[in-house]
Amino acid sequence: MTQPPAPENVYENRGMGVPPMSPTGVPGPSGSPVEHAETGDQHGRDGRATHGQVARATGNAGFHTRSQGATPGAGNGWSVRQFLAENLWAATSAAIATIAVEMGVFAAGLAWRMPRLHAALAALAVCVLWTALAAPVLAAFGRTAMGALLRGGIVADASLASLLVLWAACDEMTFPAALKIYCILAAVALAGIAATRLARTPAGRCACAVAASAVLLAALASPFWIGGSIHGQTRATAEGVAAAAVYANPFYAATACLTETARFVWHQAPVMYRITRIGDYAAAPPLLWYPAAIVYLSAAGVLAILAALAGGVRRRFAATDTHSN
């Protein structure tokens, strides 16, 4: 009896270079003869799954796109929240510390039964000294220019609150004088802030802050070191050096706002009269409040321009290195 031929095993022919055939001999959708035609139910299930995966992928892509768009400096609410999260607590702490230090000196002077004017002058000296020291240091920890401006500028803004307290507590402090002193403090703070933006790294900004504070301290201490600079000079040279030292001194400018009401001149005070040579080796210039504000505002503008130019040069070098690599 003749045996019927055995059905061909299509799976055994795959490794022999022979294209396998489906049992029906009808090629599948992709051209392969082993693929079976999909039924309606199967296509519906796969179609729903595919559409769901596409929807989920599209939604995830949109989510990532929105997250990447919310970067600092993009002008959206997220960047503002990040800016406040980075700087608000530091600025608030600096403001509280500023008012506490300045008003603490005024309260201590009153507690020691100093005349109210002398206590106010001591608090004013601390306002200027604290601004010169704290504004650059606080600005150095700002990651961005706006963060540095907020951290350092809050020192001068908080000092305005202290000046208003002195205006309310001391008859010699007038409201226009308080505003003039605030302009001087703001100019000093801006100069210190701009100096910190010359560097790119946090360590470099801290070094610039220390250097700025040192320069401001030297300007504040001009009555103590001016004697060696004007001793033995001609009268015109000595008076020119004395005028530069006085007009670059923020405390001289601050006390100039009180000269008319308080009749106070720093180098004519009983203690300073034996120390400084201003008024001895050289005549002191007329005391004015605005030269110091102009000097430090000009310095702040020059330093800000230099910082912007330095940042542009660094970005250009970074772009060149990126293209070369």
Q: Where are the domains of the chain?
A: 95-324
Q: In angstroms, how far is CA 76 from the centroid of its own chain?
A: 19
**Quick one: DSSP state of residue 285?**
P
pLDDT grade for 160, boundaries at 50, 70 and 90: very high
CA torsion, ordered 47, 53, 56, 61, to nearest 10 deg: -120
pLDDT of residue 232: 80
Only one residue has tokens 């300007």, namely 219
Residue 144's region, left for phi above 0, alpha for psi from -120 to 50, else beta, is beta
What's the 3-state SS for 189-237?
Answer: HHHHHHHHCCCCCHHHHHHHHHHHHHHHHHHHCHHHHHHHHHCCCCHHH
Q: Hey, what are 52's tokens?
A: 């769901």
The pLDDT tens digits of the residues spanning 35-77 come to 444 444 444 444 444 445 544 444 444 434 444 444 444 445 5
Calpha distance 150→83 (Å, rounded): 10
Which range among 112-126, 180-194, 225-239, 268-282 shows the weakest confidence by mean pLDDT? Answer: 268-282
pLDDT grade for 23, boundaries at 50, 70 and 90: very low
The pLDDT tens digits of the residues spanning 219-278 come to 999 988 888 888 888 888 988 999 999 999 999 999 999 877 777 777 777 767 677 878
- Among the listed residues 191, 197, 211, 155, the one whose alpha carbon sits nearest the alpha carbon of residue 292: 191
Q: Hey, what are 5's tokens?
A: 């031929």
Calpha distance 214→194 (Å, rounded): 15
